[in-house]
Amino acid sequence: MGSITLNKVSKTFGEATVIPSIDLEIHDGEFVVFVGPSGCGKSTLLRLIAGLEDTSGGRILIDGKDVTGNAPAERGLAMVFQSYALYPHMSVRNNIAFPLKMAKLDKAAIDKKVEDAARVLNLTDYLERRPSQLSGGQRQRVAIGRAIVREPSAFLFDEPLSNLDAALRGTMRLEISELHNTLKTTMIYVTHDQVEAMTMADKIVVLNRGNIEQVGSPLDLYRTPRNLFVAGFIGSPRMNLIQGEIAKGHGAHTIGVRPEHIDLSTSAGAWRGTVGVAEHLGSDTFLHVTADGIGTLTARVGGDLPVRHGDQVYLTPQEGRIHRFDDKGMAIK
């Protein structure tokens, strides 16, 4: 079991309030991603749940039990750190076995669990090596192995992939998702990378300045962002935001159109503009268009569109996919 409840949890460091007050419900078996810009308090929130930081107020419950005052090890959680935090003087085997030794399991049971975990993570051939003799991806797997053997009620990941190169990051993303499907254990994952958030999460928690902006499934956040912050943060390239007369015409202070919801034509359309930089990704092209009276808009179009720098084009937003926001930045239903 691994349901986690945050009840008015707050954290201040001296004068600085990092988290004013957060309520959050995480259900057993969910893959929850905390995402937000750097300094939004996502790592602090994870560390509060882990018990590595003391709360300044509020309560943390795991499976209904108040653990606010408990030491990290008493919470039954396991954590994977950004730097992997492996013990450099121990072999891979001893790294993975360490939490079991601390829990005073007998040697036979420890060996079995370590070898099982090593098999799952493809580390069997590396058990006698030191962390310094492993690649980044292997180190990350050792860190995950050390977390798995404890059979925790939830896993906490603190930006675990940000030290890896892009290709490896893609592979590890899949491996962690696969692991979640196999173990079905609650996972809380902190990242600033919205691609990781979108691809891995059952539920995304968008944080900004220590407050929750929105909680929902990846597609919920993509389709119905609750406010301008979420609208701008989720989706890549970013949503185009337009103010002024055009927005008023839609009965809003600001309207938002995602680049993939703009149709492009060379003959006619709603907004006329001039093509600036075109980013060719092969499958798609991101066109940066300076639209008359609006400013720069990004449109996501097919990979083989024959437009060039300086060409004149017409952009038309897809009517049903325009997001409307009021003057406080909240979505208009």
Partner 1 sequence: MARTVSRGSKIGWTIAAWVVALLIFFPILYAFITSLKTEPEAIAGFSLIPSGTFENYITVQTQRDYFKPFMNSVVLSIGSTILALLFAIPAAWSMAFSPTKRTKDILMWMLSTKMMPAVAVLIPIFILFRNFGLLDTHIGLTVMLTLINLPIVVWMLYTYFREIPGEILEAARMDGASLWKEIVYVLTPMAVPGIASTLLLNIILAWNEAFWTIQLTTTNAAPLTAFIASFSSPQGLFWAKLSAASTMAIAPILILGWFSQKQLVRGLTFGAVK
Write out the residues near partner 1 by the rule CB under 8 A: 50, 52, 71-73, 77-79, 81-83, 85-89, 98-99, 102-103, 146, 150
Q: How far is CA 119 from the centre of its chain?
A: 28
Smallest gap from residue 139 Cβ to partner 1 (A):
13
**Three-class DSSP category at 138:** helix
Would you say 72 or 237 has its CB closer to partner 1?
Answer: 72
Smallest distance, Å, CB 132 to partner 1? 11
C-beta of residue 232 within 8 angstroms of C-beta of residue 241: yes
Q: Rank residues 102 and 277 by Cβ distance to partner 1 and give the closer one.
A: 102
**Nearest-10 crossing angle of helices 92-102, 136-148:** 20
Indicate the residue among 74 and 292 with the shorter CB distance to partner 1: 74
| Least Cβ distance, residue 73 to partner 1 (angstroms) | 4
Task: Tell the smallest beta-carbon distance from residue 156 to partner 1 (Å).
Answer: 8
Nearer to partner 1 by Cβ, of 44 and 240: the residue is: 44
Determine the Cα–Cα distance for residues 310 and 65; give it in Å rounded to an integer. 63
Helix (H, G, I), strand (E, B) or coil at 222: helix
Question: Given 3-state DSSP classes, what are the helix, strand and coil percentages for the chain, each rounded to the nearest 5?
Answer: 30, 35, 35
| 89 backbone dihedrals φ, ψ, rounded to 5° | -90, 0
Among 324, 303, 307, 204, smallest CA distance to 257 is for 324
**Residue of 235, 206, 204, 224 whose CA lies nearest to 332:** 224
Amino acid sitting at position 260 = E
Report the 10 Å Cβ neighbour count for 56. 16
Residue with Cβ nearer partner 1 (43 or 194): 43
Tell me the residue type at 46.
L
User: Is the Cβ–Cβ distance between 78 and 152 less than 8 Å?
Assistant: yes
Closer to partner 1 by CB, 67 or 228: give it: 67
d(CA 255, CA 332): 10
**Shortest reach from residue 200's CB to partner 1, in Å:** 22
Comparing CB distances to partner 1, the nearer of 106 and 125 is: 106
The minimum distance between CB 138 and partner 1, in angstroms, equals 17
- The distance of closest approach from Cβ of residue 74 to partner 1 in the complex, given in angstroms and rounded to an integer, is 8
